[in-house]
Amino acid sequence: MEAFHLLTRGGTNFNKKKFERDVQLFNQSSKATAKGGASHQDHSELPPELDFFKYAQGGQPKRKGESSEGPKAKKQKLKESQDEGGSDNDQDSPAMGRQRVTAKGTNVPEPAETFRSLESRYELSSLLLGNLEKSGYHQPTGIQAHGIPILLEGRDLVAISPTGTGKTLSYLLPIISALSAPSSSSKQDTGCGVRALVLAPTRELAHQIHNECLKLAQGRKWKIMLFSKATANNLNDKNVRDKVDIVISTPLRLVAAMQSGSVELSNVRHLVLDEADRMLDAEFLSQVQEVIAGCSHPNVQKAVFSATLPAGAEQIAMGMLDNPIRLVVGLKDTPLPLIAQSLTYVADDASKVPTLLQYLSQPYNPPVLIFVSTQDRATSLAEELIINGTRNVDYLHAGMTKKERDDAVSRMRQGQSWVMICTEVMARGMDFKGVREVINYDFPQSVQSYVHRVGRTGRMGREGKAVTFFTNEDGPFLKTIANVILQSGSTVPEWILKLPKPSKMKRKEMGKVKRPETVQEARRVGRSDAIKKRDIITGSKRRKEKEKKPVSVFSNEAHEDSEGDVSS
DNA sequence: AAAAAAC
């Protein structure tokens, strides 16, 4: 209840002591099935997924009992790892290697079987190889094996690889290698401004990339800068400005810096757009174009990375690149098969809370990431859960202060949050190794959103689980998402696949149906009987739904071609 | 199709 008061005041400073106590409980774990509801299946120790440090050291995640450390030592280590980005890595999973890789373009370099093979081929420094080793990278993933040689040869690249397959390293390693290459022409220009630039759509992601970059560049004296309000001032100092080698930033931040004249991009040789489709959509495009225009050096290597790349975005990307190679790992716009996905029918918005509470009252693997559609709904759902006795509830959206956001992320990284409610901010790129369950409390608004959200789990070859709630109002995109789920190897109720593809008119119409601003409002508005009548579609129940549910909303539309069209 | 995010 204490936490609730804090929440209603708009603060996110959860009672740390309470959390610590809970974390201890958690460590003992056999007692962790407290009345609040959270429990997990490993009854011997901290769930391996939460033991971030073990991954950093390259241990096998699946095997328990392997850890030689007691909970105390672990806790200490977790503390030390606070604020360290999602930089722990574990690449030993055999599941990583099996994805099909296709490359299109001229003179495509041979993939690298091992990191070490790059040493002779591209004069990769032993220092960098050592840093790789230290960071727990042992065997390149598909995107790394194919992408790194391409970038090391200075080629432009469009890289499409599923969530959690190691895209970040794929572009950071070549940048770091190029910056340290003795023969590099950019060497003599050292001190004349930024040489490499990485753009990402959210601060949290930029922060995470920065951490990763710092780890790989250990032992170098480069200045690697994460742009933010705080660092903007430093840039006024010419000495600082000219010494920056690598910049990681969100677009608007960088554009602001450019306009104030506090950053010089004319020496940039490497430009990367992470989450490229997001960076190239309407809201970011002009900013990104401005940045690209600012990189005035005649020889800028450009690369774009994402798990999803709709045709429109790809076309824009291709227009920016010079004789690029296009790499696709696995299936485009599709979640990893390792993620077990399901759909849950919840009638209307008012029925979501009870459904979620029931879900959380059963054993699950914390932390679970819950996506909602608006900031208000994030805070009000957090309140609802806390009122109802759910423990270690946390939330994160972009309406919070930077500090609040940073704190929430670090609580997440430390395993203090069991239930993290968030908006779309967290959907892309964030690498929380411990997340094994994602719940789409509010239906995702695009295939891309769906793919990225559920991609917060199942990272680096580990298994994951994703549940998506849908209401009568979510009809228009239900079938599309169902097809995505099907394509990635999970099953969906048959009746959903038989739904007609809604026409544009219908979609427009449906779009006008307004979702209550907050979950409280939803409950007030909702029929009281709807709350009791919660139907969860699982297994055999699905069949029943098949006859009943679709009629009301989904079926009275002219049947168009109902072919499964997965890409938007 | 629309909210979120970017400052």
Whether the beta carbon of A399 falls within 7 A of nucleic chain B: the reply is yes
How far does the CA of A424 sit from the C1' of B2, in Å? Answer: 12
Domain count of the fold of chain A:
3
Is any atom of strand B within 7 angstroms of residue A503's beta carbon? no
A256 is near strand B: CB distance < 7 Å: yes
A106 plus A232 within the same structural domain: yes
A63 and A134 together in one domain: no
CATH number at residue A238: 3.40.50.300
How many whole angstroms separate alpha carbon A140 and alpha carbon A117? 11
Short-list A158, A157, A234, A251, CA closest to A198: A251
Nearest nucleic acid nucleotide to A287, CA to C1' distance: B6
In a domain, A568, yes or no: no
Residue A92 lies in a domain: no
- For A333-344, what is each residue's pLDDT tens digit? 999 999 999 999
Judgement on whether residues A61 and A115 belong to the same structural domain of the protein: no
Nearest residue: Cα versus C1' of B4: A424
CA distances from A529 to A57, A174, A330, A348, A351 (A): 52, 59, 45, 11, 9
The reply to whether A278 and A318 lie within a common domain is yes
Q: Which residues contact A98 (CB under 8 A, 6 or more apart)?
A: none
In this structure, is residue A343 part of a structural domain?
A: yes
Residue that finishes a domain, picked among A47, A80, A113: A80
Domain assignment of residue A75, given as a range: 2-80
Question: Among A299, A329, A359, which residue terminates a domain?
Answer: A329
pLDDT at A75: 36
Q: Are residues A283 and A395 in the same domain?
A: no
* Dist. CA A273–CA A283, nearest whole Å: 15
Could you say which of A311, A329, A347 is where a domain stops?
A329
Whether residue A453 sits in one domain with residue A424: yes
Same domain, A213 and A361: no
Q: pTM above 0.85?
A: no
Shared domain check, A305 and A360: no
**Each residue's pLDDT tens digit, A444-466:** 999 999 999 999 999 998 999 99
Indicate if A261 and A410 belong to the same structural domain. Answer: no
**Residue A208 falls inside a structural domain:** yes
The integer distance in angstroms from the CA atom of A512 to the C1' atom of B2 is 10
Positions 205-234 of A with beta carbon below 7 A from strand B are: 227-229
The pLDDT, as a whole number, for residue A515 is 65
In a domain, A147, yes or no: yes
Q: pLDDT at position A518, please? A: 81
> pLDDT in tens for each of the 568 residues of chain A?
334 333 333 333 333 333 333 333 233 333 333 333 343 333 333 333 333 322 222 222 322 233 333 333 333 333 333 333 333 333 444 444 468 999 999 999 999 999 999 999 999 999 999 999 999 999 999 999 999 999 999 999 999 999 999 999 999 999 999 998 654 444 454 557 899 999 999 999 999 999 999 999 999 989 999 998 777 667 767 777 778 899 999 999 999 999 888 888 999 999 999 999 999 999 999 999 999 999 999 999 999 999 999 999 999 999 999 999 999 999 999 999 999 999 999 989 999 999 999 999 999 999 999 999 999 999 999 999 999 999 999 999 999 999 999 999 999 999 999 999 999 999 999 999 889 999 999 999 999 999 999 999 999 989 999 999 999 889 888 999 999 999 999 999 998 988 876 655 455 544 445 567 788 777 776 544 433 333 333 333 333 333 333 333 333 333 333 333 333 3
Instruction: Establish if A558 belongs to a structural domain.
Output: no
CA of A375 to C1' of B3 (A): 9
Residue with tokens 């920016």: A320
Query: Does residue A94 fall inside a structural domain?
Result: no
pLDDT at site A98: 65
Task: Please give the nucleotide, over all strands, whose C1' is closest to the CA of residue A507.
Answer: B1
Distance of A514 CA from B6 C1′ (whole Å): 26
DSSP notation for A112-168: PSSSTHHHHHH---HHHHHHHHHTT--S--HHHHHHHHHHHTT--EEEE--TTS-HH
Q: Is the CB of A344 under 7 A from strand B?
A: no
Return the C-alpha torsion angle A443, A444, A445, A447, nearest 10.
Answer: -130
CA-closest candidate to residue A92, choices A114, A66, A118, A59: A59
Nucleotide nearest to A228 (CA to C1'): B7
Among A136, A138, A47, A58, residue whose Cα is nearest residue A434: A47
Å between CA of A120 and C1' of B5: 43
Q: Which nucleotides of B are covered by protein (CB under 7 A)?
A: 1-7
Domain check: are A158 and A294 in the same one?
Answer: yes
A194 and A223 assigned to the same domain:
yes
Closest CA to A194 of A261, A297, A263, A255: A263
- Kindly state whether residues A303 and A411 are assigned to the same domain: no
Nearest residue to B2, CA vs C1'?
A: A445
Q: Is the peptide bond before A367 cis (omega within 30 degrees of 0)?
A: yes
